[in-house]
Amino acid sequence: MAQFPELEPNTRSYDFGLFSLTEEPSLSAGIVRFRHSVMPQSCRLVLGYNAITDAQATLVRNHYQGQAGSFLSFSLPSIIWEGHTFSGNVAPYDMLWRYAETPVEEHLQIGHVNVTVSLISDGAADPDFEVAASIAAGIATGA
């Protein structure tokens, strides 16, 4: 798992995603919703890098290729979150991410590129969370 390059984005947009829900009809109350987890799913993060150098854009290109496109997950360096306007309780900083799509490049003048990177959350990176989830799965299956 390679960490994303340490480049501070010029713009950042974050979609908090949705909780894992199941909807079931009831006889008297309409639709009843059951939440399966307190972790949101499909959190998206779009990072915009304006007029970065070709060398910096190459870092993003190489990282994308090293992660086999959107196949392998990775962590984000703390510089990504500098200057954020939301709390760490709402957007956990320890999440794993994957590329939602190929980074988009807009070539400006020679040596400068605008790059937009779209990421999707792959869940918590906290090993204690993963251990607790595997224990819970074992209890649920009777293993």
pLDDT for residue 44: 87
Phi, psi of 115 (to 5 degrees): -125, 135
pLDDT at 119 over 90: yes
pTM: 0.70
Please answer whether residues 119 and 46 qualify as being in contact, where contact means their C-beta atoms are separated by less than 8 angstroms.
yes
Contact (CB, 8 A) for 114 and 105: yes
CA distances for 113 relative to 32, 99, 105, 108, angstroms: 49, 19, 7, 5
pLDDT tens-digit readout, 56-110: 999 999 999 999 877 888 988 888 887 766 655 555 667 889 999 999 999 998 8
Q: In the structure, what pLDDT confidence band is assigned to residue 142 with cuts at 50, 70 and 90?
A: very low
Closest by CA to 93, choosing from 74, 72, 78, is 78
* pLDDT computed for residue 125 by the predictor: 63
Residue type, 88: G
User: Where does the pLDDT of residue 42 fall: very low under 50, low under 70, confident under 90, or very high at 90 and above?
Assistant: confident
- Residue-level pLDDT at 31: 85
